[in-house]
Chain A
Amino acid sequence: MRMAALLATALGVAACGSESGQSTLRNVTTGIVSQLGNRAPSRVTLSDQAIRDLGEVVVLTRRKNDDAALIMPVGRNGTVTTYESVDGTQLLLDRDVLVGTKGFGEDITSAQPPDVRRTRGTALRDHYYLNGDEVIRRARFTCTITDTGADSIEVAGRDYPSRKITEACSSDLASFENLYWIEADGTIRQSLQWVGPEVGSLVLERVHD
């Protein structure tokens, strides 16, 4: 398939012209390289204080490869905030609960998660994905939400007393566990949230208060 990719785009390679967006070679190459999974993980190298000074910022880490990035808000619609990293990847967080991703490939186009702050016991979670046939389909998971007790966590050098909530979800085809560290006022200070089988889970650390 990689050979085919190269052949299929051979005509687009190394072209130059007046129009932008012709970096086909780069696109194909990055596509192939990221397919191979050889990309070195990016790191956040700023100190805790420097991160704090950035203001409203979330540290995003991909569980799968420890790829870390800072994401900042670029839009707010109702309770949903769109955060973006420097490479244009976006996360949509509804009061810190993931309801969409853009730029991960296997994106959650939209989602209807349970209210993890209040619900305990069984709940439904819906994710919508764009399939290879270009149709958006719903994946419905049955989840069990449990309060596992007090658990103080450290985010960017500060300790936050919080309760750890687990949300164990499954369907016929996939199962995963989301974790939330929720403070007394309802702030989700840190979480582990699942996107899909390929992307895996994301660790989100909310730096700002």
Chain B
Amino acid sequence: MIRTLSVSAIALSAVLGGTTASFPQELGRPTLNFYGVSGVIDMPSAAVQPDGQLASTLSYFGGISRGSLSFQIFPRVSGTFRYQGFQDLNYAGYEDYYDRSFDISMLILKESRYLPAVAVGLQDFVGTGVSSGEYIAASKTVTPRLRATVGLGWGRLGSDGDLGSPFGDRDPIEVDQGGTLNAEQYFRGPAAPFAGIEYQATDRMTLLAEYSSDAYELEAGERGSVSDAIIDRASPLNFGVDYRLNKNASLGAYYMYGSEIGLKVNFVANPYEPPMTGSYAPGPLPVQPRPARGSDPAAYATDWTQTPGVAATLTQRLAADFDEQGLDLESLAVDAGTATVRVRNPRFDAEAQAIGRAARAMSRVLPASVETFRITPSVDGMPVSTVTLRRSDLETYETAPDGADKLAAVAGIGEAVPQPAGSVRNAEVVPRFKWNLGPYIRNSYFDPDSPIRADLGARLSASYEAAPGLVFAGSISKRLIGNLDENKRIDTSVLPPVRSNFPLYDREGDPSLDSLTATYYFRPATNFYGRVTGGYLERMFGGVSGEILWKPVDSQLALGAELNYAKQRDYDVQFGFQDYDVVTGHLSAYYDIGGGYHAQVDVGRYLAGDYGATFGFDREFENGWSVGAFATVTDVSAEDFGEGSFDKGIRLRIPTSWFTGEPTRRAASTVIRPVTRDGGARLSVPGRLYGRARTYHESELEGQWGRVLR
């Protein structure tokens, strides 16, 4: 159950300090450098960003532009994905050279009174290696406004002013497919010192100076004819000023390497600090308490159960109250002491809030003798859990100090109970036809000819649920404006072109039948969930898909199996198919590690017929934010896979309610893959079970239980 958290100064400062407008007096959020990691200007530091912070940084100097996305994965570990462009570098066969890279850094010693913070970092450790470098840095807050950093760099960060090679020689960088760990290079070769200072001149302005150990050999054209010179590195000294516009954005201007003007902008967002604190939505229907049994025993009589049609009348009244709260009553079964409802929640992203609203509506409609409320949330017709509340607890704790916590202690969360005999179904909910017309954006990144492409268009989607769990759905889209069809680059592949030919679909598939499916969701047994889907599953494939998931309500572990037969669709994204077909499927294990960390392993056969496994790791926040990474290794060799060596990427989900402070189940989600190739590609089946089943399971309900009385 929900643990009562002790009050610490930190907790209180989160309550109160987070809402005060003034900036802290000491150095605030540490500076993000040109690579988008904690640092000074171009060099890293040992400072750490606030836990959970997501930062995006854009920087430019001397024809080098960098876009970085950094995430503080753990309090001491941060990861960065970066896309760099080198204009006119004329390198490796490209006039403008583009490069994707990943960094990771770890704080090994926290700053204390006498000792500095110490961090180690790997820069571009799985990329093509152009920016590869490693460092160890020490940073100390000398005065509340002054932080100094010294460090030792290897690789790119040890290319100027080195002190020798303490750990042996470094093999030369090979620009091949990239994507492999350059582990034999780490901390090898010449090591060079760097240093920097950050001085917070005013609350908003920070002055920066550093001594860089990066020689910019490649960019200065010092490797002969390998590349053209695009910058003149006249000095190792960089100077700059960072100006904080507000809590979330800052701008910087710099004088770089004695010759270039540099610019930087960064945006940070912390899931723990929503722009809109709490909820701005209308309050709930209050609990309607019953008269005390002693003073009015007649109110508790149970003869109402004998009234003909009483269940239908109560169902109708409850459905109306649910509707007012944005909930859908699927069915109600009621006897003298217990009411069991099935409810759908299209509105509240905080699951407990939906449960709380349902319970309060029940207190207003059901006769006084009904003491036990059993609320079974239903997702696509599948009952996924049952929350049992005593009506008297609800009455007692609705307005009590710390009432949500007290209610948590007496609420039961368990496997969904079967709907008792005599249950009355609300015909308004199923069958039901739904439709939606709205805009869509489809984008593609990292094409060397045009790093960002996008289409904007209109999409019409509709669904019809004929019986609980039996859903027919489809969507069509029409592009209005965009340039995805200009992508002429089709990467050749020795594998069947299951994903790499996506530009052909973008070019020819307009208007497109994005999906058209029939799906049946069901509960085959206790703790088990099932799904069968057939039709046009995604833009590139159609077929049939079956899935079984085991996920007990209180379990951190879930296991799943999925088997699909898929056939590749025609490029026009209409009804036709091509010749290529494949049987693909996976066994999956999902584990809720705790603290918001989730791991997933999928082992099986991929679209190109390759066998392997996908490893995923996500950090989920209670408010619905999620940041994660995944990687797939299959029996396809790095050489056959091509650029990137294996499939990998990062994924991000930001709930709309985080911005608006109003309940909605909408969210912005994106997956960023450095390269889209054919190895390790998974069929994109709509309606996978894990995300559905666990929605109202213990950990999710408890995660936002604080909103149960909201």
The secondary-structure label for the interface of chain B is: loop
- How far does the Cβ of A39 sit from chain B's closest Cβ, in whole Å? 12
Q: Is A139 engaged at the interface, CB distance under 8 Å to the other chain?
A: yes
A-B complex: 9 closest residue pairs judged by Cβ atoms: A88-B282, A75-B286, A15-B438, A17-B436, A90-B283, A102-B283, A134-B622, A112-B401, A80-B399
- How far does the Cβ of B704 sit from chain A's closest Cβ, in whole Å? 5
B404: contacting residue among A2, A87, A131, A136, CB under 8 A = A136
Q: List the B side residues contacting A15 at CB < 8 Å.
A: 436-439
Q: Once the chains bind, are A21 and B280 in contact (CB under 8 Å)?
A: no
- How far does the Cβ of A18 sit from chain B's closest Cβ, in whole Å? 5
Q: Once the chains bind, are A110 and B654 in contact (CB under 8 Å)?
A: no
Closest to A15 in B: B438
| Interface 0/1 of A3-29, CB less than 8 Å to B | 011011111111111111110100110
Cα–Cα, bound, A18→B284 (Å): 24
- How far does the Cβ of A127 sit from chain B's closest Cβ, in whole Å? 9
| Interface 0/1 of B395-431, CB less than 8 Å to A | 1001111111100000000000000000000000000
Question: If A15-B439, A17-B437, A18-B436 touch, does A9 touch B7 (CB 8 Å cutoff)?
Answer: no
Q: Is A114 engaged at the interface, CB distance under 8 Å to the other chain?
A: no
| Interface 0/1 of A152-172, CB less than 8 Å to B | 000000000000000000011
Q: Once the chains bind, are B438 and A12 in contact (CB under 8 Å)?
A: yes
Q: Is A135 engaged at the interface, CB distance under 8 Å to the other chain?
A: yes
Q: List the A side residues contacting B623 at CB < 8 Å.
A: 132-134
| Interface 0/1 of B269-284, CB less than 8 Å to A | 1111111111111111
Cα–Cα, bound, A106→B275 (Å): 11
Q: Once the chains bind, are B399 and A78 in contact (CB under 8 Å)?
A: yes
Question: If A12-B656, A27-B662 touch, does A105 touch B438 (CB 8 Å cutoff)?
Answer: no
Q: List the A side residues contacting B271 at CB < 8 Å.
A: 132
| Interface 0/1 of B1-14, CB less than 8 Å to A | 00001010101111
Q: Once the chains bind, are A198 and B277 in contact (CB under 8 Å)?
A: yes
Q: Once the chains bind, are B347 and A136 in contact (CB under 8 Å)?
A: no
**Interface band, chain B:** 35 or more
Q: List the A side residues contacting B489 at CB < 8 Å.
A: none
Q: Once the chains bind, are B12 and A107 in contact (CB under 8 Å)?
A: no
Q: List the B side residues contacting A13 at CB < 8 Å.
A: 438-439
The chain A residues found within 8 Å of chain B, CB to CB, are: 1-2, 4-5, 7-22, 24, 27-28, 30-31, 34-35, 74-78, 80, 82, 84, 87-90, 92, 94, 99-100, 102-107, 109-112, 126, 128-140, 171-174, 196-198
Cα–Cα, bound, A102→B391 (Å): 22
Q: Once the chains bind, are B281 and A103 in contact (CB under 8 Å)?
A: yes
The secondary-structure label for the interface of chain A is: mixed
Closest to A35 in B: B275
Q: List the A side residues contacting B273 at CB < 8 Å.
A: 132
Q: Once the chains bind, are A136 and B280 in contact (CB under 8 Å)?
A: no
A-B contact pairs, 27 of them (CB 8 A): A1-B275, A8-B654, A9-B656, A15-B436, A16-B438, A17-B435, A17-B436, A24-B660, A27-B664, A31-B276, A75-B288, A89-B283, A90-B283, A102-B282, A102-B710, A103-B283, A106-B19, A107-B710, A126-B401, A128-B401, A130-B278, A132-B270, A133-B272, A134-B706, A171-B12, A197-B16, A197-B19
A137: contacting residue among B12, B326, B435, B703, CB under 8 A = B12
Q: Once the chains bind, are B395 and A132 in contact (CB under 8 Å)?
A: no
Q: Once the chains bind, are B19 and A196 in contact (CB under 8 Å)?
A: yes
Q: Once the chains bind, are A105 and B661 in contact (CB under 8 Å)?
A: yes
Cα–Cα, bound, A44→B15 (Å): 32
- How far does the Cβ of A204 sit from chain B's closest Cβ, in whole Å? 17
Q: Once the chains bind, are A110 and B404 in contact (CB under 8 Å)?
A: yes
Q: Once the chains bind, are A128 and B16 in contact (CB under 8 Å)?
A: no
- How far does the Cβ of A107 sit from chain B's closest Cβ, in whole Å? 5
- How far does the Cβ of A88 sit from chain B's closest Cβ, in whole Å? 2
Q: Is B440 engaged at the interface, CB distance under 8 Å to the other chain?
A: yes
Q: Once the chains bind, are B275 and A75 in contact (CB under 8 Å)?
A: no
Q: Is B113 engaged at the interface, CB distance under 8 Å to the other chain?
A: no
